[in-house]
Structure 1
Amino acid sequence: MPKKSDANVRAPLSRWGRCNSSQAHVDGALVVYLAGELDLSTAQQLRRRLMAVAESNTAATIVLDLSDVSFIDAHSCGLIVNAWSVAKSHGRRLRVDGLRGIPARVFRLLGLEPVLAWRTPETHQGGIIGGRYGGGGQRPAERRSVGGTHAAR
């Protein structure tokens, strides 16, 4: 398990309706933690966050930790692919970590797992739930998923 910088403290969460986000530097990578639902209602904020991160010079590796994402639509996946392309054009690598549940199925159906996924609990031997960077299994109060229309599915 990688050690988190700055005594395991994450930046404060940003709330976008039914989604939360924060970021931290972990082992030289910029990790963006997302929680809740990524759909059309959060697309504008997601696009802004992803483009800012993809175009920044803060780290050569960018990891989107989706461990606490309960729902993602194809449009949001397209935004992630666009950010991956922008990061790649700037000489950076963008990966997705912590895919499980609906997000894992959507990434699999769209054929994005081989290109973007760092690893998923379904493919990791032992079935560990959560991402490489500590999402999922650890749920401090500030990282709880926000309930929404897709939470009960």
Structure 2
Amino acid sequence: NTKTLTPTLNQPDAVEVTARRDGGANGPITTFFARILGINTVDVRADATAALTGQSTAGDGDLEIPIGISSFFFNPGERCNDWIKFSPTHDPDSCAGWTTFDMSPSNDPTIRRILQEVPGYTNPDTTAGETGFEFIGGDLSTPTFDAL
């Protein structure tokens, strides 16, 4: 991975750890077979980074609720960037909405069918930033909302 950890005290969400054995910490590793070549000790170092991030992929059928967040939410300077609102969906600040995944037509009754687990339909394999879904462009009806 080519990402660089930038240390910050503002809402940290990652940690970088260095484990090492060398002349400066814990002493170098004593070799066994390398002694044949005259190498008695070696310095060893390993770096690891762990980050708390959102899920970026979902397999077929793994999406539980038919919602999506617009790509505009993640692009600075676009129409929205700080709020995720589902209603009203025609509001430029909404940046999220109800989706029928890849099922047509993209509307409230189709979402209700998805929630009622249409026989033979499985929501698709999904990758954040790559998979595109159609928003229904409106709010859910009471029967569809109740199906949640």
* TM-score computed with the length of structure 1 as normaliser: 0.19
Q: Which has the larger radius of gyration?
A: 2
More helix per residue:
1
